[in-house]
Amino acid sequence: MRQQSHDCLKIQSTGWGIDMHSFLEKLHKDHGNLEKILALLSLQLDHFFAGRESNFDLKIELMEYLETYADQGHHPLENLIFNTARKHLDADQQELMDRLQSQHESLVQLTRKFRQSLENVLQGGVMPRDELEVQGREFVALQRQHLDLEESEAFPLIDSVMTAEDWREVAANIPAHDDPVFESPDKVRFYNLFEYLSNAE
């Protein structure tokens, strides 16, 4: 992030109840956490599809985290920022915002579908292993492609066009939604995930 725009992004506090330097820094940090979750999910899928021991409860908690925070907290904040930036963008740049917001909607459906598939298998339902693998691999790949597109194109563009007034508008409308793993830990709901992260440290 360039220094000349950094001062425009200074925020004293947010609906999350935490201090942070900028919304873009917050989103970048979220992306780092999401990469950790996707890497762990990918590892668990590798174990399962190779016939090795795999923790289904952990996989379902990973999907619940993505539903609870990525889809309900992180993406709504990005959508708010994308919409605020639109007035500064040309047609091609607005198309990029449209594409990302459309991906947000698609990822909600893919997350729910794969979580339900995992829960069905855990409860004794019958589903071809190769079909479950295709769902899982596609989900992880699309999530990573989406994060890469935001990091490489959307965030630098937003950083270059957003004004201090734009960021005040974002701050006034920010969705209040805590991260239940990395900010406001819910160690009951995400017991298996916290156990894994604790043992990995």
Which regions of the chain does DSSP assign to beta strands (E)?
none
What's the confidence (pLDDT) of residue 33? 96
What is the end-to-end Cα distance of the chain in Å, rounded? 29
The SS3 of residue 95 is helix
Residue 31: band (very low, low, confident or very high) from pLDDT cuts 50, 70, 90 = very high
Q: What domains does the chain contain, in order, with CATH numbers?
A: 25-200 (1.20.120.520)
Tokens of 199: 């043992």
What's the confidence (pLDDT) of residue 79? 97
User: Position of tokens 């709901």?
Assistant: 189
As a whole number, mean pLDDT of residues 144-173 equals 95
What's the confidence (pLDDT) of residue 190? 94
Tokens of 107: 């990822």
Task: Identify the helix (H) or strand (E) that includes residue 128.
Answer: none
> How many CB atoms are closer than 10 A to CB 99?
14
What's the confidence (pLDDT) of residue 136? 94
CB 56 within 8 A of CB 44: no
Provide the residue type at 83 as one letter.
Answer: N
DSSP H helical ranges for 50-90 = 56-65, 75-85
Model confidence pLDDT, tens digit, residues 79-104: 999 999 999 999 999 999 999 999 99
What is the CA 50 to chain-centroid distance, rounded?
A: 27
Tell me the sheet residues that pair with 20.
11
> How many CB atoms are closer than 10 A to CB 155?
19
Overall size of the chain counted in residues: 201
User: Position of tokens 């900028």?
Assistant: 22
Model confidence pLDDT, tens digit, residues 110-155: 999 999 999 998 888 888 888 999 999 999 999 999 999 999 999 9
Which pTM value belongs to this model? 0.85
Provide the residue type at 125 as one letter.
Answer: G
CB 62 within 8 A of CB 37: yes
